[in-house]
Structure 1
Amino acid sequence: MKLKINRDHLLRGITLATRSVPTKSANPLFVNVLLEANEKGLTMLGSSGDLTIKTLIPIRVNELEVLRVYTEGKALVNAKLLNEIIRHLEGSEVDIEVIDQTLLQVSDGRSEFNLNSIKPSDYPDFDLEHDGVRFAIDRQHFVKLVDQTVFAASTKENRPILTAVHLNAKNGLLVAAATDTARLARKQVELKDNVTFFANVPAKTMQDIARIVEVTRVEEIEISVTDKKILFEFDGTFIASRLVGGDYPSTKEIVLKTYNSFLEANANELIKAMERVSLLSSERERIVRLTMSENLVQVSSSSPNAGRASEVVPTCRYSGEPLSIHFNVGYVTAAIRACGSDDIHIEFTGELKPFEVKNLEDDSQTQIITPTRTFVDK
């Protein structure tokens, strides 16, 4: 293999492909990235075994030649080393050549690196074919679906199913839900394709893909789902992820149909007040108390070691019976930000019942938080 490539395009490609490559792995082959040059361009592939990313740098981009392949071939080299080398090179073009099938030479005319290369045939094959149910989703809709749900997934591995985002499609709608049992985030978007499936996708995978496609110019993402994997395709890139096995817990009973107390607030002002007061919270989870009546809305917290804090939020409007409720500040602020609105409504039924954070102009999402039973402020 021998080629010359634009350094910026190479860096973007290698950075993308190596996002799936672990620093350490039980399988030593997975710390490498596979390069393949042919008449289509330069393909780079990295995998952790659970997540695989393959991306193509074509010969031309917008009529500009960014790559010249002199000799077709493959190479398998350490992903982290190659990524760091390309990142630190200063030349506008990079020459890459396989020497004696054992070394990968990388040079920008000023710096030269010779990396040990492994036999490409040793690298496993990965299933990157579109199988099962296939559909397309608008890029912006996908990013919003992820941003308004993924934060509610659990980060604890003791219940792996809760580290996933549950996708359920039917009747032209795709519904995403995430919960760590203390909160629920749900979002639905319309699909052009009337498909039916459900899948539990690792939340981190969903978040990574959203960040990747967010900066691209693609309008749609092609997705296919089987009972084992989900595959995303966009702009010459394929991302395949394993699914999380098991039955996702039902979330229907969490969402209440009626509420009897209502709080209207400016999102930014309420967040700032809660974050200030939580500085003196005694709990690692940053528990605060929200006290509400038609005459006063106040946020407070206390700590045996640090003291007490309270703040009146004068711009809030509350209707209903007086209510005092404790909750995790991080959960509520994340839900408010996910609403994406300057003004938010919070609806309650009691001090120990789940409450809902709403953007009244967007009924496609649901944000539910369960109050805490830890009374930290008397």
Structure 2
Amino acid sequence: FLSNTHLSFKLNDIELITRLIGQKYPDYSAVIPLENEFLMKIKTKDVHDAIKRMMLFSATNTRRVKFSIKENSLEISAEDLDIGASGTENVNCEYSGDPIDIGFNSGYVNDILSHLSGEDEVIFKLHSPTKAVIVEPQKKKENSELMMLLMPVRLNN
């Protein structure tokens, strides 16, 4: 069943009715960065374990972690000013670009790395602290294109 305002599906005893939105779907390709001048290759397990530990120190309302990336080094830090907790983890990586500090919601980073947990290494493709980051497995699977988009959060410096 389809009308100007509703759509319905029926399968056996189950009927799903939804209201249609009268909006155009956003152009997702507009947020995918075409130029990523900085690449960071890192062992998936190492960065995932570090993120899980830093989530314990991130503020519950923002879940923010800071990635400080410089030559072959990723420092992940988090703090919760409400309870006076903070932590820092250093993880080896392959990176040779300009130093960059960028913030992320640790929950989103954790979700991405959970989905990539079977991969040995992941690539973070970065442009600037205010632009979306692409996260991909280092090894591409045949007939598969996997790209995950990670939006940064503002850091309070």
Q: TM-score range by the shorter chain?
A: 0.7 to 0.9
Offset of 1:249 from its aligned partner? Answer: 2.0
Q: 8 Å contact 2:37–2:126 — kept in the other structure?
A: yes
- The structure-2 alpha-carbon separation of the partners of 1:320 and 1:307, relative to structure 1 and needing over 3 Å to count, comes to same
1:291 offset after TM fit, Å? Answer: 1.0
**SS in structure 2 opposite 1:353?**
coil
* Partner Cα distance (2:115, 2:15) in 1: 25
Which whole-Å CA distance do the structure 2 matches of 1:280 and 1:333 have between them?
A: 14
2:126 maps to which of 348, 372, 377? 348
3-state secondary structure, aligned to 1:347: strand
Tell me the distance in 1 between the aligned counterparts of 2:14 and 2:59. 46
SS at match of 1:308: strand
What CA distance in whole angstroms lies between the structure 2 residues aligned with 1:253 and 1:320?
A: 25
User: Quick one: which amino acid aligns to residue 364 of structure 1?
Assistant: E
Instruction: Say whether residues 1:337 and 2:114 are aligned partners.
Output: yes
1:357 to 135, 145, 153: 135
* Percent of residue pairs bearing the same amino acid type: 19
Q: Hey, what's the Cα distance between the residues in 1 that align with 2:148 and 2:10?
A: 27
Q: 1:297 to 1:285 in 2, by over 3 A?
A: same
- Contact in 2 for aligned 1:340/1:359 (Cα 8 Å): no
So what's the TM-score if we normalise by structure 2? Answer: 0.78
CA distance in 2, matches of 1:369, 1:230: 33
Residue 147 of structure 2: which of 345, 363, 366 is its match?
366
SS at structure 2 position matched to 1:320 = coil
Q: How many residues of Structure 1 are paired with residues of Structure 2 in the alignment?
A: 150
Which residues of 2 match residues 277-296 of structure 1 at below 5 A? 277-282=54-59, 284-296=61-73
- Is 1:267 matched up with 2:44? yes
Structure 1-normalised TM-score? Answer: 0.35
Greater RCO, 1 or 2 (C-alpha within 8 Å, sep 6+): 2
1:318 is the counterpart of 2:132: no
Q: What's 1:36 paired with?
A: none
Q: How does 1:182-193 map to 2 (within 5 A)?
A: none
Map of 1:297 onto structure 2:
74
1:327 Cα deviation (Å)? 0.9
Contact 1:344 1:358 in 2 (8 A): yes
One-letter amino acid of the structure 2 residue matched with residue 282 of structure 1: A
CA RMSD of aligned residues (A): 2.7
Cα distance, 1:313 vs. partner? 1.3
